[in-house]
């Protein structure tokens, strides 16, 4: 019965995790000293080497709070590895998963990263989930000159020579969404969001896009994580009467907001909510009657009708249960494993420098999102996006599809020109 419904609860832990960062940096610095023998097999040519397996590090929380989401992420990584091996592996070499459980503890994530790099000498490490987990391990990968592949969508505002990102960043599901809202739902926006970096970044981009499109943001309100009473803001929405409520609320706040919104007399037909983080799981918790008719933008929905997704959902459910749910970070992680395999197949060897070069431009055509996914020179991937409208069964009907769009981790709506770094800021394998 593991559902990703409460996964965004753990975004909350970003704050708690951040305090561990200082310690993480220290540990990484200690580990860095003994890492001179990294990649002993680096010089071996992937195409001509003996048929020994290629070790792939999987860094996930298999225990603790984050395991609710990360066990599925680990499962989908294993599924992708099986698929790759069944298709003949990478130039005849099988992939071998080396799993390390960091137990939802970012200090352990740093230690386990070091273990994967220096003890197992893995070609790449795939995993992590919250932004806090990623930020905690980056110094270790930098100091050891190793590669980390992160599969979850996040706020962006970061790029790193040692990190590749297969999840979406906000511009990819906002740039087409906002103009669509302006021409289909109305011109005045009332923005509500949970109070942390992700909703605030999304909101900053939305405000600029609304202004460019000739609309108006009439209010922009934030709520402490864990807020479940929205009486005050809903009565204000009744006073202001916006055309659209734009929601970046997450986790436990979502069902409470939608329920109270409808019982205050608002209907989806007249006062639609356009959301960015209201997934099928939150719709199930609020009851389909409270979600029906409202909108959501994402780079992936389980209901996407393309053939790649049908195959992906079927494979995942036949392996992990008919009620197993597929969601954005799951697809991102699946794509990460496949993109690695594609890159490894064309790399002259699996040293971080060669692999890093081969990853740029690596393409995976069977992306369940419905468009081929390619890694760009900034280490981010292109993604298509979709607008879904919740139906009476609690699923999203796709009402509009948009072409695949490159990532912009430092969008001009948030980062002033001149302050935008060149991504990635340096190259691996100095």
Instruction: Calculate the alpha carbon distances from 313 to 89, 308, 336, 339, 363 in Å.
Output: 22, 9, 17, 19, 21
Q: How many residues are listed for the chain in this entry?
A: 430
- The reply on whether position 264 binds another protein by CB under 8 A is yes
Between residue 174 and residue 233, which ones bind another protein under the rule CB under 8 A? 195, 221-224, 226-229, 231-233
Does position 395 interact with another protein (CB under 8 A)? The reply is no
Choice from 70, 143, 160, 282 touching another protein (CB under 8 A): 282
Does 68 help bind another protein (rule: CB under 8 A)?
yes
- Closest Cα to residue 117, out of 206, 197, 39, 208? 39
> Under the criterion CB under 8 A, does residue 397 sit at the interface with another protein?
no
Q: How far is the CB of 398 from another protein (least distance, A)?
A: 24
- Applying CB under 8 A, which of residues 145, 252, 349, 408 lies at the interface with another protein? 252
Q: Which stretch binds another protein (CB under 8 A): 53-61, 284-292, 333-341, 398-406?
A: 284-292
Q: How far apart are CA 79 and CA 69, in angstroms?
A: 16
Min separation Cβ 334 and another protein, Å: 22
Task: Mark the segment that binds another protein (CB under 8 A) among 166-174, 197-205, 236-244, 332-340.
Answer: 236-244
Q: Which residues have CB under 8 Å from 416's CB, separation 6+?
A: none
Of 37, 40, 48, 239, the one binding another protein by CB under 8 A: 239
Beta bridge partners of 247: 192, 275
Q: Nearest-5° angle of CA 337, CA 16, CA 282? A: 65
- Cβ 221 to another protein shortest distance, Å: 5
CA 157 from chain centre, in angstroms, equals 14
The single residue among 183, 235, 377, 393 that binds another protein, judged by CB under 8 A, is 235
CB nearer to another protein: give 64 or 429: 64
Sequence-distant contacts of 340-345: CB under 8 A, at least 24 apart: 340/56, 340/123, 340/124, 340/126, 340/149, 341/80, 341/84, 341/90, 341/95, 343/375, 344/46, 344/54, 344/90, 344/91, 344/123, 345/46, 345/90, 345/91
* Closest approach of another protein to the CB of residue 119, in Å: 33
Applying CB under 8 A, does 74 fall inside the site for another protein? no
Residue 260 binding another protein, by CB under 8 A: yes
Which residues are at the interface with another protein (CB under 8 A)? 1-3, 5-6, 9, 68, 195, 221-224, 226-229, 231-233, 235-236, 238-239, 251-256, 259-260, 262-265, 281-282, 284-287, 289-290
């Amino acid at each position: 019965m593991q559902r990703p419904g409460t996964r965004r609860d753990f975004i909350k832990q970003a704050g708690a995790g951040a305090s561990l960062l200082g310690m993480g940096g220290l540990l990484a610095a200690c580990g860095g000293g003994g890492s001179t023998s990294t990649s002993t097999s680096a010089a071996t040519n992937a195409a001509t080497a003996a048929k020994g397996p290629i070790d792939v590090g999987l860094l996930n929380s298999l225990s603790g709070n984050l395991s609710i989401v990360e066990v599925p992420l680990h499962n989908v990584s294993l599924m992708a590895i099986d698929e790759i091996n069944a298709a003949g592996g990478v130039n005849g070499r099988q992939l071998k998963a080396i799993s390390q459980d960091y137990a939802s503890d970012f200090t352990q994530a740093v230690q386990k990263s070091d273990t994967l790099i220096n003890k197992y000498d893995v070609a790449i490490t795939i995993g992590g989930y919250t932004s806090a987990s990623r930020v905690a391990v980056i110094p270790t990968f930098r100091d050891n000159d190793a590669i980390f592949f992160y599969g979850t969508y996040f706020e962006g505002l970061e790029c790193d020579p040692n990190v590749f990102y297969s999840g979406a960043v906000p511009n990819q599901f906002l740039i087409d969404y906002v103009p669509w809202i302006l021409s289909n739902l109305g011109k005045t926006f009332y923005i509500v969001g949970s109070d942390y970096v992700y909703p605030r970044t999304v909101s900053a981009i939305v405000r600029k896009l609304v202004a460019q499109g000739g609309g108006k943001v009439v209010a922009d309100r934030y709520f402490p994580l864990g807020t479940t009473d929205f009486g005050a803001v809903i009565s204000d929405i009744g006073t202001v009467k916006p055309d659209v409520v734009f929601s970046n609320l997450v986790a436990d706040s979502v069902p409470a907001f939608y329920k109270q919104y409808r019982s205050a007399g608002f209907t989806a037909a007249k006062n639609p909510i356009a959301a960015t983080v209201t997934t099928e799981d939150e719709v199930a918790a609020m009851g389909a009657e409270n979600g029906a008719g409202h909108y959501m933008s994402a780079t992936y929905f389980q209901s996407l009708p393309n053939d790649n997704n049908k195959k992906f959902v079927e494979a995942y459910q036949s392996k992990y249960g008919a009620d197993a749910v597929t969601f954005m970070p799951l697809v991102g992680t699946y794509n990460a494993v496949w993109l690695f395999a594609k890159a490894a197949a064309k790399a002259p060897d699996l040293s971080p420098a060669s692999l890093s070069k081969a990853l740029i431009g690596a393409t995976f055509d069977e992306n369940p999102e419905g468009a081929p996914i390619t890694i760009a020179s900034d280490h981010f991937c292109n993604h298509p996006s979709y607008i879904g409208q919740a139906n009476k069964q609690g699923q999203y009907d796709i009402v509009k599809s948009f072409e695949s769009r490159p990532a912009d981790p430092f969008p001009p709506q948030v980062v002033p020109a001149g302050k935008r770094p060149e991504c990635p800021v340096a190259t691996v394998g100095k």
